[in-house]
Each structure stands twice: as C-alpha cells, then as structure tokens.
C-alpha cells in the first residue's frame, strides 16, 4: 500500500535512515522515479509531494529530492513495487505539462537540502553582534524548529569482489552484504554482530557462549517443580496438525486446506528456481527443521493463539534465524533448539522440547503441504512485526517457494530420523541432571524435617490426650487427701460421723480400727488427762470416785459409738450430713499420711472433758 502523506505525517521522524539507490527519467507529462529498496517492509510506503519536493520513506530507507521543476499530486500519480528485485517505481505528473526538467542525472545536487544552492554565505561572522551584546543585552531564547533537512549520501553498490569477501547466510547461504548498511536497523532481529565479517564457526561459538551464560537454573527449577499443572496443560494441548491424519504412516497432503489469505499470499510469491549444491541443500533441510521446531513450540505454548510475542519467540528459539546458523546433522538442530528453549522463553521445560520434536515429525510425515502451511503462518507473523519482516526476505519467502517444488518423498524421508531421535538432558550440556539431583536432595531433606516435626507434634498431641487420664487418679487422690486432711480439734463424735459418711473413702476401715483401739484402752483404765477447773481438782479423791468416773467415761463412749453407727446407716441412704453430737471431750486424730511422712512424731490423742 502506498500512502501519500502531508507534512504532518512526514516520515522524517525516523532516526535511522538509509539513502537508497535511485534513478530518474521523464516524459512530457510525468516524472518517473525508480528507487531500489531491498529487504524493506512491503506493507506500506510513505510519499510526500509538494512543488519541487519529493520525499519517499520505506523503513529503513528515506529519500528526499529537490527537483528542478514542480510536480503535483492530482490523482494521476501511480506506484508499483517489484518484490523480487526490490524496486519501487513512482510516476508523478508534472505541474506544467511539456516542461523539461534539467539536470536529473545530477544526483548529488538533487539530494542537497532545499535552499543550500543559494548565494548565502556558509559562515557568518557574529563577532559584531557579540560585542554589541557585551553591554548586557541577552539573546532571546526562542524555540527553533528542528531542521529536518538532514544530509544524505549517495548509495553505492557493493562490488562483486567485496561481496566475495563477505560470509554467506540466508536461505541456502545465497546472501551476503545485507547487514553492511542495515546492521543498526536489524540488531534487534539477530543476535550475531556484524555477520558479514563473522565466520560461521565463530558465530556458533558465540552462540554457545551466550546460551551458557544466560541459562537460569532458578527459572528452570521453578518450571520443573512449581508449574507442573500448567506444563501438563500445555503438553495435553492438541494443535491443528495432530487432527490432520490419525494414521501417521499416511501422506495426508490432500487433507490440508488453505485459507483465502494464505492463497493470496502464495499468489504474490514469484515462481523461481534455486540452484543449490548438495551441501547447500543439506543446510536448507536442517534449517527448515530448526524453524518449524520454533514454530510448533510457539503454537503449543500459546495454545494456537499467536500473540505479540510470537515473532520474538520463533526467531529467538531458532538458531537459524537469530544467529544465521548452519547445522551439520539433525542432532545438532535438536540440541540447539533444546538449549535455546531452556534459556529464553517463558516456559522452560524439557518435556516441551521432546513434544516439539514429535510435533515436527508429525508435520513432516503429513507432507509438504503441511510444512507450507506452517511457513505461511510464520511469514504472516513476521510480516506484521517490525523489524522481523527482514527474516522473510532472508529465509521464509524462499522456503515458501522452494518447498512447493520439491518431491514429497524427501519430506517423508526426513520424518523418520525425527521420530527416532533420542535427545537427552546430558546432550544439552547445561548440567540439568546435577541440578535436579541437588533439588531432589533438598526436597528430601525438607520432607524429612516435615515428617519429624509432624511426628513430634502428633506425639505431643497424644501425650496431651493421655495426660488427663493419667492425672485423674492423682486428682482423685488429691481430692481424697483434701477430704481426709488433718482436722482441727473437734468432738470425737463429729469425727466419727464424718468418717462414717464417707463410705467410699479408703480410710474408713482404718478410722474404725483406731476408734476400737481407743475404746479398748479406755476400758483397760488408760489414764487420760482430764481438763477440769483448778477449784474442782482434788488430790485426795477416793478410789471410789475414780472408779465411778471411769465407768461414766465408758458409758459415754458406748453411747457415742452406738449413735455413730446409727448415723452412718442413715447417711448411707440419705447422703445428708447429720447434726453433730454434743461437743464433749474433743479428740484430734492424725491422718495416716502424716504418720507416714518423714516427720517422726508420736500419735497424740487428747480427750478433754468438761464437767457439767
């Protein structure tokens, strides 16, 4: 498409501009301009016409001509482009029909900026103005317009002798000298610097060094262990070539259908023949495998929906496109593709590499029509990307034309080594096996730590669950001890009742035994200290009174014992506390726990009797 622009849309905004080779001719009504612009993007040309000025722009080429006569834009202008020769032809009507433009062969003067041929001196002496302003006057800071009338140099064709000195690249190694003037423009497309003066062996060595230095072990490990589900989804995706022929042994060229856009693109290609020797044909086949590998990877990782990164992905994964590489075997191609897949794209997984190899084997088994469809898709991706379009001129366009003229048996023959290819991680020379072994050891240590921590946590939980059961007897013992802890001096009857009420207490039998011993000792005439008032004490008490006193004490004991038995029976049924008996002769009983303690003490039984 040719776009005739006004000054506002002038293509002069380009920073890197190359002056193309051109020639002019005329007739009575038209001026004809032929401009040579090889390896340019053919989708759009910008042309500006105004009076004596003619400006042409097709990235990265820019041409500005100052004509000896006026031309006009009135709808009669015509333009055409020969893709094979890279020639752009423009027919512009003259403002005055029949006018003859003189000096069209003076190319240098036509390239000069407008007004440079005036009598104005090239150097002005501004010393007077400076002296005048020395007294304090200041120059006005006025914003000046940028001078777009840049200097242009006449394009000179590279001689055949010089081209022979350049190293070859491109389809079949048929190109050279392309990057001599386009290196700055194309440094974002290829990775090799100055390919015209770089030998293929040096390119290969630089490529391997760049891949080794840029390889990121952390990125690889993340894709390997943390993105398993996402990688699994990409591996299960079924691309369009997998649906062509269920039988991989059959040639399914007839099942391939091309869209109208693809057919239109094929009609634009020029039918040409390629004279390739045996070595060049071998390089062409291996380069084709390399390019298709990059394409199928992009299709799988985008799930068939190409995006703005597709052009970058394809050219970056292909050593042929990014380093102008020439391979010597299928194994070399697979190793190069595998290394670059683990260095550059978003998904860096070895399974994606092996799956891509199987996909390419399926495509080659499907025939040359399937390969052509892939190449047309790549051609479209590069055609719509700036500046990747240059790769179409170097490789893809020639592949699209060449693949249509070869025999299908050669395509099928290459499918066999691709199916039988054995690519292993050690072949990539990126120490993947050592990295994975180290990662496995780290994971195993983490799992062991988790198991030990979880085991200790479970043991603690079990101990916590068992601890209440074990402490229940202690709590009961403490409760029992609380119930039988030493009492304050009370009446003997009250003590006996409390012991009787606690039938479940283990000290019940012991208390009863102690009471019986006390009764026996009283009956035997055990002398118990009697607390009586001093005025009532009589040293000269008669034996009769002592016997009567002992008898009274014995009767009192039996009465209390009978009452205690009766109260115990009643407490067993009603579980209610009985009223204490009369507080006579308080008796303190030391518990068995205290007797078993480390303190050696005698049991002290004290009965205090109060007189009536």
Q: What is the pLDDT of residue 529?
A: 46
Buried b or exposed e, range 458-476, using 16+ CB within 10 angstroms: eeeeeeeeeeeeeeeeeee
Joined together, the tokens standing for residue 216 give: 């990121």
310 contacts 342 by C-beta, under 8 angstroms? no
The model's confidence at residue 180, banded by pLDDT at 50, 70 and 90, is confident
d(CA 243, CA 275): 35
Q: How does pLDDT run across 372-401, given as a tens digit for each residue?
A: 999 999 999 999 887 788 899 899 999 999
What's the rounded Cα separation, in Å, for the pair 22 and 262? 33
Q: What is the pLDDT of residue 43?
A: 66
Contact 325, 336 (CB under 8 A): yes
User: In which region does residue 581 sit, left (phi positive, over 0), alpha (psi from -120 to 50) or beta (all else)?
Assistant: beta
Q: How far apart are CA 348 and CA 354, in angstroms?
A: 12
Find the mean pLDDT for residues 112-141.
46
Token readout for 501 is 């009420």
Residue of 246, 242, 266, 250 whose CA lies nearest to 363: 242
Helix, strand or coil, per DSSP, at residue 492: helix
Token pair 């026996």 is found at 520
Instruction: Write the pLDDT tens digit of every residue in 541-576.
Output: 444 555 565 666 566 656 666 666 666 555 554 444
H or E segment to which residue 32 belongs: strand 30-36
Mean pLDDT, residues 26-54 taken together: 84
Q: Which of 405, 398, 404, 396 is nearest to 377 (CA)?
A: 396
pLDDT > 50? residue 514: yes
pLDDT of 268 over the 80 cut: yes
Share of the chain above pLDDT 90, in %: 36
pLDDT higher than threshold 70 for residue 403: yes
Instruction: Report which secondary-structure segment, H or E, holds 89.
Output: strand 87-93
pLDDT for 489 beyond 90 = no
What share of the chain has pLDDT > 70, as a percent? Answer: 60
pLDDT digits (tens, 9 = 90+) for 93-126: 999 988 989 888 887 778 776 654 444 444 444 4
pLDDT score at 533: 45
pTM: 0.61
- Number of CB atoms found within 10 A of residue 175's CB: 22
The three-state secondary structure class of 87 is: strand
Torsion of CA 105, 110, 116, 117, to 10 degrees: 30
pLDDT tens digit sequence for 434-464 = 999 998 898 888 887 877 777 666 666 666 6
């Amino acid at each position: 498409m040719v776009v005739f622009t006004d000054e506002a849309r002038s293509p002069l905004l380009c920073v890197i501009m190359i002056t193309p080779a051109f020639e002019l001719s005329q007739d009575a009504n038209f001026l004809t301009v032929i401009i040579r612009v090889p390896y340019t993007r053919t989708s759009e040309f910008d042309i500006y016409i105004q009076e004596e000025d003619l400006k042409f722009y097709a990235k990265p080429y820019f041409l500005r001509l100052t004509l000896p006569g006026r031309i006009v834009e009135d709808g009669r202008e015509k333009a055409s482009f020969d893709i094979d020769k890279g020639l752009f032809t423009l027919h512009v009507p003259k403002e005055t029909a029949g006018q003859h433009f003189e000096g069209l062969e003076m190319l240098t003067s036509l390239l000069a900026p407008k007004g440079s041929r005036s009598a104005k001196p090239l150097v002005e002496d501004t010393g007077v103005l400076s002296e005048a302003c020395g007294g304090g006057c200041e120059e006005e800071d006025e914003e000046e317009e940028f001078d777009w009338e840049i200097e242009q140099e006449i394009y000179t064709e590279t001689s055949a002798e010089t081209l022979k000195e350049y190293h070859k690249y491109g389809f079949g190694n048929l190109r050279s000298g392309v990057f001599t003037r386009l290196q700055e423009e194309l440094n974002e497309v290829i990775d090799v610097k100055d390919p015209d003066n770089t030998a293929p062996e040096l390119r290969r060595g630089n490529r391997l060094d760049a891949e080794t230095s840029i390889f990121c072990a952390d990125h690889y490990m993340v894709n390997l262990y943390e993105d398993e589900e996402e990688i699994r989804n990409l591996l299960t995706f079924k691309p369009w070539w997998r649906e062509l022929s269920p039988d991989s042994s059959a040639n399914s060229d007839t099942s391939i259908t091309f869209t109208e856009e693809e057919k239109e693109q094929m009609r634009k290609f020029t039918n040409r023949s390629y004279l390739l020797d045996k070595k060049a044909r071998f390089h062409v086949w291996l380069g084709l495998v390399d390019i298709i590998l990059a394409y199928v990877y992009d299709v799988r990782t985008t799930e068939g929906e190409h995006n703005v990164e597709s052009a970058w992905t394809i050219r970056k994964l292909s050593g042929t496109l990014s380093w102008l590489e020439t391979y010597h075997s299928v194994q070399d191609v697979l190793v190069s593709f595998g290394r670059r897949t683990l260095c550059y794209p978003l998904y860096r997984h070895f399974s994606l590499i092996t799956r891509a190899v199987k996909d390419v084997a399926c495509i080659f088994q499907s025939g040359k029509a399937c390969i052509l469809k892939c190449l047309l898709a790549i051609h479209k991706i590069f055609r719509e990307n700036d500046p990747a379009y240059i790769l179409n001129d170097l490789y893809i366009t020639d592949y699209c034309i060449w693949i249509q003229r070869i025999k299908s048996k050669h395509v099928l023959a290459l499918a066999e080594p691709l199916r039988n290819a054995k690519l292993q991680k050690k072949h990539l020379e990126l120490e993947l096996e050592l990295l994975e072994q180290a990662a496995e050891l780290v994971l195993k240590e983490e799992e062991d730590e988790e198991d030990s921590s979880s085991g200790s946590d479970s043991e603690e939980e079990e101990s916590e669950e068992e601890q209440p059961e074990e402490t229940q007897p202690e709590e009961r013992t403490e409760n029992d001890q609380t119930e039988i802890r030493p009492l304050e001096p009370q009446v003997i009857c009250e003590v006996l009742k409390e012991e009787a009420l606690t039938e479940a207490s283990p000290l019940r039998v012991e208390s009863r035994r102690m009471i019986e011993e006390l009764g026996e000792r009283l009956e035997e005439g055990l002398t118990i200290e009697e607390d009586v008032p001093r005025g009532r004490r009589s040293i000269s008490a008669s034996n009769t009174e002592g016997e009567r006193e002992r008898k009274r004490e014995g009767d009192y004991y039996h009465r209390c014992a009978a009452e205690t038995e009766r109260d115990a029976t009643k407490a067993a049924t009603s579980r209610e506390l009985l009223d204490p008996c009369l507080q006579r002769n308080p008796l303190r009983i030391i518990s068995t726990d205290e007797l078993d303690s480390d303190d050696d003490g005698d049991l002290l039984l004290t009965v205090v009797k109060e007189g009536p």
